[in-house]
Amino acid sequence: MKEYIEKFLSHLEVDCNCSAHTLRAYRTDLLGFLDFAGEKTHGDAAADAVTRQFLRNYLAHLTLAGLKPRTLARKTACLKSFYKYLARMKYITVNPAGLLGTPKVGRSVPDFLYFHQLEKLLDAVREYAEREGAGTGYFPLRDRLLFEVVYSSGLRVSELASLNDDSFTAGGFIRVMGKGSKERMVPYTRRLADLLGSYREARNIFITGHGALSCPAFFLNKKCRRISPRGIRTVFSKVIRETAFEKKIHPHTLRHTFATHLLEGGCDIRAVQELLGHASLSTTQVYTHITRDRLKNVYLSSHPRARH
């Protein structure tokens, strides 16, 4: 079965253009299933010997292990895709996962910041950058810009890490390489544009100080290399800790805030879908929650007796 797993992963990478993150997740899920199958069959886990009941037993085992419904749903989807591929390639005669049910996962409202909270956060990050680097040090400027870019343009962490110096166009757009290597153009704010000049100047000094002539990556780590998604999350945690902000903030919190503020401002949901790089509109619809302030304003302006 391990050989089939490798062929399936190669198919996802070459034919489906799946991201490295997706490939890692599928590999982890399938190898976990292979370990379970090998243990239950004493090492004889042939792909064509797996039945629907065996798969259900595996999912029941995961449920008893305490996995959340969202994780179970992902692992189920992985198994369904894997066995669909095996059946299509005729490696097996019967697809045991064809009628396998998928656990229902409720959509939770994304965590976001109200505008006054967002302004307070960005002010705190600006003060932190000025305090740490007197407004000119590379890393304080980099850390501030990370926050500004996510709220300005709603990028994912992986997209943020993959930005290059030429990703920012003179026309006010960011060229973003999203999931599945799909490129999109996302505008950025005037406030961000005003910061780019001083950041690039500090970045060039930092690169020269490391003996390099140039570096394509826009955001750099201490070794003058491209910062990783994990490194970006570490920066967010450190800055939030240093600013003693009122709540825990992740990069995705600002992405959620970006989408929420656009919709509240009247932006069309399909435009928000394009800006976020969502393949499906249903993914974007999770942001159509209504904040308390907007709900009250709509109520006051619509109900005939609301102001009496």
Residues carrying an active site annotation:
156, 179, 252, 255, 278, 287
Question: Which tokens go with 217?
Answer: 């990556």
C-alpha 196/C-alpha 93 separation (Å) is 58
Report how far apart, in Å, the C-alpha atoms of 285 and of each of 112, 157, 260, 289 are.
Answer: 15, 21, 10, 8
Task: Please answer whether residues 41 and 49 qualify as being in contact, where contact means their C-beta atoms are separated by less than 8 angstroms.
Answer: yes
Compute the distance between CA of residue 220 and CA of residue 197 in angstroms, rounded to an integer.
Answer: 16
Which class for 239: exposed (0-12), middle (13-18), buried (19 or more C-beta within 10 A)?
A: buried
What's CA 107's distance to the chain center, in Å? 16
- Residues near 155 by beta carbon (within 8 Å), at least 6 away in sequence: 149, 163, 174, 176, 186, 255
- The residue length of the chain stands at 308
Q: Which two tokens stand for residue 151?
A: 């709220």
